[in-house]
Amino acid sequence: MSAVGTPVPVGRRSALVLGAASVAGLMMLVWPLLVQAEAGARVQPPFLFLVLLPVVLAVVVAELSEGGLDARALAVLGVLTAVNAVLRGMGAGVAGLELVFFLLILAGRVFGPGFGFVLGALSLFAGALLTAGVGPWLPYQMLVSAWVGLGAGLLPRRVLGRPVTGRGEIALLAAYGVLAAYVYGLLLNLQGWPYLLGIGIPGVDGQGLMFVPGDPLHENLGRFLVYTIVTSTTSWDTGRAITTALAVVLLGPSVLVTLRRAARRARVVRA
């Protein structure tokens, strides 16, 4: 009997490398909140981290791909990366119109968490090259997008002993798309927020939203949450969530069928 295998299987060693890279990336996002600094001092971004993160991502991609990608699976990865890069160029996140996560979530669901992680990182990288969006923020975008693909691949296949298929699967993926859209915005805000010197928002005390080195963690987190709600949650992130959910509901069934056909042809393992 044959079963469809994931083009990028996550073995024990790959899982350890992926976990280490994710922990390192998370530390790069939250380190300003954990560092001990004198009150009033400026916190400078760790440029060494910006150099190390692409290297870590490259190691993860190589580790996940070692022995896991045949020629057909590699071709599928290349096609999906190119399509996602074009989709990013069509919206580029303007007003929250973001179609990248729609295809990323569906691909992660079909091909598995390893494939989703690699596709998420490569899609944002290719999209940045296409839209001239390369900058110090790109490694963070690649990492968080990789987490989105990884999470899609880890969504449950069965609930209460029954397989999740049909409308139930679409509802699950749409709900995950909404959650991923908000988490993506939250984490990327955390990347840049500690370095803002002034926040000009009409009707809002900008000084009360700034990161204050040396303040207790809970106070800085409170400011950050208010900053995120005011600047992105009610606008950009909500637009991304609505766009992703609608795309999954309207196009998800047909795209899932196409991706599963590609998965069967890309790599088959014997059970």
pLDDT digits (tens, 9 = 90+) for 115-140: 898 899 888 888 888 777 777 778 88
**DSSP state letters, 3-23:** EEPPSS---HHHHHHHHHHHH
Average pLDDT estimate for 8-31: 80
Are the C-beta atoms of 149 and 173 separated by less than 8 Å? no
Question: For position 180, what pLDDT does the model report?
Answer: 95
Give the SS3 label for residue 202: coil
Question: For position 4, what pLDDT does the model report?
Answer: 47
Question: For position 45, what pLDDT does the model report?
Answer: 58
Question: For position 1, what pLDDT does the model report?
Answer: 31
Question: For position 206, what pLDDT does the model report?
Answer: 55
Average pLDDT estimate for 237-261: 92
Average pLDDT estimate for 239-245: 91
Give the SS3 label for residue 34: helix
Question: For position 3, what pLDDT does the model report?
Answer: 41
Average pLDDT estimate for 250-257: 93
- Per-residue confidence band for 147, with pLDDT thresholds at 50, 70 and 90: very high
Between helices 138-154 and 12-34, what is the axis angle to 10°? 130
Average pLDDT, the chain: 79
- Per-residue confidence band for 17, with pLDDT thresholds at 50, 70 and 90: confident
Lowest-confidence pick of 38-47, 108-117, 218-227? 38-47
Question: For position 109, what pLDDT does the model report?
Answer: 93
Question: For position 270, what pLDDT does the model report?
Answer: 35
Between helices 238-266 and 71-91, what is the axis angle to 10°? 160
Residue 215 gets the label, from left (phi > 0), alpha (psi -120 to 50) or beta, of beta
Q: DSSP secondary-structure letter at 132? A: T
What's the rounded Cα separation, in Å, for the pair 200 and 111? 44
Are the C-beta atoms of 121 and 146 separated by less than 8 Å? yes
pTM, rounded to two decimals: 0.83
Question: For position 51, what pLDDT does the model report?
Answer: 65
Question: For position 107, what pLDDT does the model report?
Answer: 93
